[in-house]
Amino acid sequence: IQSTIMLNNGTVIPQVGLGVFQTPDGETTVNAVETALATGYRHIDTAMIYGNEASVGEGIRRSGVPRGDIFLTTKLWNDDIRARRTKEAFQESLDRLGVDYVDLYLIHWPVDGWHEAWDAMQEIYASGRAKAIGVSNFQKHHIDELLAGSDVKPAVDQIESSPQFTNQQLIDDLTGLGIATEAWSPLGGTGGNLLSDPELARIGAEYGKSAAQVVIRWHIQRGIVVLPKSTHAERIRQNFDVFDFELSDADMKAINALETGRRNGADPDNFDF
């Protein structure tokens, strides 16, 4: 049985979702989404900039799983934030996805214009076309600034987190504020070496699980949402087979110790896109 988390507005979110960053548009994305939904996933995380919203929508329709059973997230891209065209961009995302609402709409990065975007997103939320709204790649200081200027708390902050860059202080801060954390690059990202770490293999052997399954389970037991990405059906299935074992405290600590302090992706305080 998959686990869920309740967001601060009462919305329930499945803890494991399929991420589709760098999943090519077309049949690759359609198949990944269809495979995930057939496996039991009920949470898909995309973004305008991933360029595959239409294929995500197609995969959902082909799966036959009712729209209402699926938690669907997309994100507002930086160019649209800077151009102050949140509502237009949101409608374009709905049209590409072929849905009349999303479960979660996120500000993708804290670029110039995000304050106005947050105001517009509150109107979208009030209209019912996004069941929850939140942010991504916001540091503590961005969150503090947002909360100082708004009565509406983001439901989530989607940030980089993996055993190599746990981001634990930010997660603790968000938890203290009642904001749920979602982890991107949860397996260390494309081209990373995390999954070949012998420590993860050793731990996996205790439970009969792979390194990826151990890492996904570690995220679940930290109480956050985890968004593993794969284009391979076998891995998509494997990454969801994580609800029948529990890592010991000692193993959780051993995984925490893989921290390097180095990000895999962009630094939210210093990026240029």
Cα(237)–Cα(271) distance, integer angstroms: 34
258 near ligand A2P, rule: CB under 6 A:
no
238 near ligand A2P, rule: CB under 6 A:
yes
Interface residue with ligand A2P among 126, 232, 248, 257 (CB under 6 A) is 232
- Taking the complex as a whole, how short is the minimal distance between the CB of residue 191 and ligand A2P, in angstroms? 7
Interface residue with ligand A2P among 93, 239, 242, 251 (CB under 6 A) is 239
Is 108 within any annotated ligand binding site?
Answer: yes
Residue with tokens 């998509």: 236
Number of helices and strands in the chain (H, E): 11, 10
17 near ligand A2P, rule: CB under 6 A:
no
Residue 10's contacts (CB-CB under 8 Å, 6 or more residues apart) are none
Q: Kindly report the backbone phi and psi dihedral angles of residue 233, in degrees, each rounded to the nearest multiple of 5, phi listed first.
A: -55, -45
- Taking the complex as a whole, how short is the minimal distance between the CB of residue 68 and ligand A2P, in angstroms? 27
- Token duo for residue 262: 């180095």
Cα(39)–Cα(46) distance, integer angstroms: 18
Number of chain residues interacting with ligand A2P (CB under 6 A): 18
Window 179 to 198, contacts with ligand A2P (CB under 6 A): 185-190, 195
230 near ligand A2P, rule: CB under 6 A:
yes
- Taking the complex as a whole, how short is the minimal distance between the CB of residue 183 and ligand A2P, in angstroms? 8
Alpha helix ranges (H) inside the chain:
27-39, 53-63, 78-82, 86-97, 114-127, 140-149, 168-177, 198-207, 211-221, 233-238, 249-256
Cα(108)–Cα(182) distance, integer angstroms: 13
Annotated catalytic residue 50: yes
> Which residue among the candidates 41, 50, 125, 207 is catalytic per the annotation?
50
- Taking the complex as a whole, how short is the minimal distance between the CB of residue 231 and ligand A2P, in angstroms? 4
Point out the annotated binding site: 108
List interacting residues with ligand A2P (CB under 6 A).
Answer: 19, 185-190, 195, 210, 212, 228-232, 235, 238-239
Residues assigned a catalytic role: 50
Where is the binding site for substrate, in residues? Answer: 108
